[in-house]
Amino acid sequence: MNQKDIIQKCKQNDYTAQIEVYNTYKNLLYNSCFRILKSREDAEDLVQDAFIKGFEKIHQVHNDVNIAAWFRRIAINLCFDKIRKEKNIFSLEDSKEIESELEEMGFENAEEISIDFIKECINKLKEKYRVIVVLYLIEEYNHREISEILQINESTVRNQYARGKNQLITLLQKHTKNEFKRTHRAT
Amino acid sequence: MNLKEHIEQHKNEFDSEKMSATSEVLFKKRLQGELHQPKKSKMVYLRFIAVAASIVLVLSIFFWNQNSNELTKTSEVLAFLNNESAGKRLEGVYKFDDEFKKEDSKIINTLIKILHNDANANVKIATIDALLKFPSNDNVRTNLIIALEKEKTPLVQIKIIKSLSFLREHRAQKTLEEIINNNETFPIVKSNAALAINQLKQ
């Protein structure tokens, strides 16, 4: 069954097609939710919520839509609904703040850093920077899309991303320097 | 290579987490519960049909039972009316008079036969009273006129004359005149017939 057929079947509330969609994309959504929420239980719950919500609204999409991206967007929106309700990390003040554009730090030779360490450093960032870094660097949303998801100004998103990224680079550089010292001490 | 490019190249390593094994079972249960249950409106509709069907069933049983009782009662009365004993026939007439509020064609036809043919005057008189319960029944009215033409027993004649006067049956006038003009008619019958003609003329 191709994607168009599956979407058509889901529009007809076909149980088998819905399970097929779930099994195909559940881990994709789970990784996105887990990166944002940092809780396995919450991420699993929200993945289920996202699929249920998606199947309820699937009649609104065209049969040729990128279904994975569509479900992922629902899941991410649900994650931020939850964050807004429980943590309130994106306050109205964030949205109102007028700031000069921050300059992003450069970081070359990133390929020398392991992905696991990058993940670890991202998780050490302050919550409001971490989620924007995740959305921009990993989920590949642009600043305008992030501002829509978080319901804050695009310029605020740009600044917070720059701050987050700079913090991340600082953490990565610290690691690089330590590695350099350790190597030299050994020699 | 900058950081963004490095992450893009290793995108798959960021998607290495797997959902727990139990999650699929839970999701299937939830999906069935939320999107594959009969709709509420459908349930209400089905419940309404079930209630309506129950009511129809109860009413059918009630009417069937009532109808069955009526049939039993009719058979019982007919058995009495067709009995050889005048006393039993009289009992049948009174039973009909007491227990039947609606017309029953089988019984009415049997009563009309009694009106024309029964040898016992008392049975005939009781029958006329029973038939008068249905004054708008044309079969009853017509047969009372026919019975008056043939009837020879004075008591029964007087009963029929009074009944036709009560029913204001104008078609009986000719028969009443024939009774008055008949030399064999008892004087008391003649005077009742004359009185009836006067009442019908008023």
> pLDDT by residue (tens digit) across A134-149?
999 999 999 999 998 8
Q: Pick the residue with more confidence: B31 or A106?
A: B31
Q: Which residues on B lie below 8 Å from A107 (Cβ)?
A: 2-3
Q: What is the pLDDT of residues B22-48, one digit of tens each?
A: 999 999 999 999 999 776 666 777 888
Measured in angstroms, the CA of A119 and the nearest CA of chain B are apart by 8
The answer to whether the CB of A43 falls within 8 A of the CB of A34 is: yes
User: Average pLDDT for residues A101-107, to the nearest whole number?
Assistant: 70
Mutation choice for B interface testing from A25, A44, A108 by most B CBs within 10 A? A44
pLDDT of residue B141: 94
Nearest alpha-carbon partner for A89 in A171, A159, A151: A151
Q: Do A137 and B19 touch (CB under 8 A)?
A: no
Over 80: is that where the pLDDT of A20 sits? yes
The answer to whether the CB of B89 falls within 8 A of the CB of B80 is: yes
Q: Does this model's pTM top 0.80?
A: no
pLDDT of residue A92: 46
Binding-face residues of B in 8-37 toward A, CB within 8 A: 8-11, 13-20, 23-24, 26-28, 30-32, 34-36
Over 70: is that where the pLDDT of A89 sits? no
The overall average pLDDT reported for chain A is 86
Q: Do B3 and A169 touch (CB under 8 A)?
A: yes
What ipTM did this prediction achieve?
A: 0.81
Q: Pick the residue with more confidence: A134 or A106?
A: A134
CA-to-CA distance for B111 and B105, rounded, in angstroms? 10
Measured in angstroms, the CA of B40 and the nearest CA of chain A are apart by 16
Torsion of CA B83, B89, B91, B94, to 10 degrees: 140
The answer to whether the CB of B148 falls within 8 A of the CB of B192 is: no
Q: What is the pLDDT of residues A115-132, one digit of tens each?
A: 999 999 999 999 889 999
pLDDT of residue A60: 93
